[in-house]
Amino acid sequence: MTKSQKILILGGGFAGARLAQDLTTAGFTDVTLIDRKDYFEVTYSTLRTLADPAMGERARMRYDDFLKGSFCQGEVAELDAASARLTDGTDLPFDTAIVATGSSYPAFPVAKSQDALSIGDRAAEMTSEHDRLVAAKEVLIIGGGPVGVELAGEIADHFPDKSVTLAEAGSRLLGDLRPKAGAVATRQLKSLGVTILTGTRLGTDDAAYRDADLVYMCVGLVSNTGFMAAHFADRLDGSGRIVVDEYLRMTGSPNIYALGDCASVPEVKFGYVADAQAAHLAKSLAAETDGKPAKPYKAPAVMSLVPTGRKQGLVQLPFAVTTLGFLVNMKQKDMFISRQYGNLGVTR
């Protein structure tokens, strides 16, 4: 492996953008990032942007305006052992490829847009969604994970005149976090007037669904790995994630890696984890060019920060769940926009 090798990064989210920046900084001279969109977005801020569209102006930035390596806007149709083919027929050869295409909510494009491929289109999309929210009186949110909880808090806090209902099929909110986290979130949301329904699966025939002016489906997260099916269907697990080893390398393919939501690493799929994986892989690839052995990836300690409106929230640390203000305010300050761009070497 040399620093002149051709490196192709598929996907420009937290993992892909961080990896592209770190590899170029480390001296790799042929790094290309591919993404369907022409812009990077700090998605930590998206739910607040729904209530306050102005925040999105700071959260988004065109790749061409900050990326140190090369950028190619396009959608990958299929990947083989030596090249990526785009939907327009373009073939991009590589020596090493890193798949960081993330995940999406097909039923909740507000969170991760499916159609807004330019920064201008995304701004218009979020403004339109904001207008729909402003016009609604009865809002139903389905899914009591971190996204649903945060969304319920943002809407209830910004629009106290609206009726907000949060429905969760499980027995409590934040089922993937500690029970105390779910209890704290429940208490905080109720203080904002949110109606919480647990153990409840709502469909279009239910009264709560029919009576809502606006329904947000914060469930159904899927991995963006469909392009792998043509040549690597046997490398995907039951959730559509790419099976990787302890070095984040796709099994059976020494020159293909996977990061973030689309990788099978058994850990929470949070943005800071994808960022940590990218930082680790950049260091490992750089070390290999110096003849040093790669180090296995070690998952960071689990931490989750879930705001419930602009003034409260909860933090799950490795050893406790807390509502301490200085910890909650780490995200409340600007929804990690400055921090994330700092990780990319950009002042924002």
Indicate whether 339 belongs to any domain: no
Predicted confidence (pLDDT) at residue 1 exceeds the cutoff of 80: no
Residue 221: what pLDDT?
87
Rounded to 5 degrees, what are φ and ψ at 143? 120, 110
Please report which confidence band the pLDDT of residue 109 belongs to, taking 50, 70 and 90 as the band edges: confident
∠ CA 233-234-239, nearest 5°, is 75
Question: Quick one: what percent of the chain has pLDDT higher than 90?
Answer: 90
Overall domain count for the chain: 1
Please report which confidence band the pLDDT of residue 106 belongs to, taking 50, 70 and 90 as the band edges: confident
Residue 302: what pLDDT?
79
Residue 74: what pLDDT?
97
Indicate whether 2 belongs to any domain: no
> Do strands 83-86 and 91-93 pair parallel, antiparallel, or not at all (unpaired)?
antiparallel
Residue 340 burial (CB < 10 Å; 0-12/13-18/19+)?
A: buried
What are 15-40's pLDDT values in tens digits?
999 999 999 999 999 999 999 999 99
Rounded to 5 degrees, what are φ and ψ at 283? -65, -40
Residue 44: what pLDDT?
95
User: Which carries the bigger pLDDT value, residue 81 or residue 270?
Assistant: 81
Strand partners, 222: 104
Mean per-residue pLDDT of the chain: 95
Measured over the CA atoms of residue 191, residue 270, residue 316 and residue 339, the dihedral's sign is negative
* pTM of the full structure: 0.95
Rounded to 5 degrees, what are φ and ψ at 310? -80, -15
Indicate whether 1 belongs to any domain: no
Residue 343: what pLDDT?
96
Residues 6 or more apart in contact with residue 281 via CB below 8 angstroms: 19, 98, 248, 257, 259, 297
Q: Report, as an integer, the average pLDDT of 288-293.
A: 92
Residue 174 burial (CB < 10 Å; 0-12/13-18/19+)?
A: buried
Question: Quick one: what percent of the chain has pLDDT higher than 70?
Answer: 100
Residue numbers of the domain that contains 45: 7-105+221-300
Indicate whether 80 belongs to any domain: yes
Please report which confidence band the pLDDT of residue 72 belongs to, taking 50, 70 and 90 as the band edges: very high
Indicate whether 76 belongs to any domain: yes
Indicate whether 98 belongs to any domain: yes
Indicate whether 21 belongs to any domain: yes
Please report which confidence band the pLDDT of residue 152 belongs to, taking 50, 70 and 90 as the band edges: very high
Q: How far apart are CA 154 and CA 3, in angstroms?
A: 45
Do residues 257 and 10 touch, judged by C-beta distance below 8 A? no
Predicted confidence (pLDDT) at residue 220 exceeds the cutoff of 90: no
CATH number at residue 265: 3.50.50.60
Query: Can you give the three-state secondary structure of 162-177, one letter per residue?
Result: CEEEEEECCCCCCCCC
Indicate whether 142 belongs to any domain: no
Please report which confidence band the pLDDT of residue 263 belongs to, taking 50, 70 and 90 as the band edges: very high
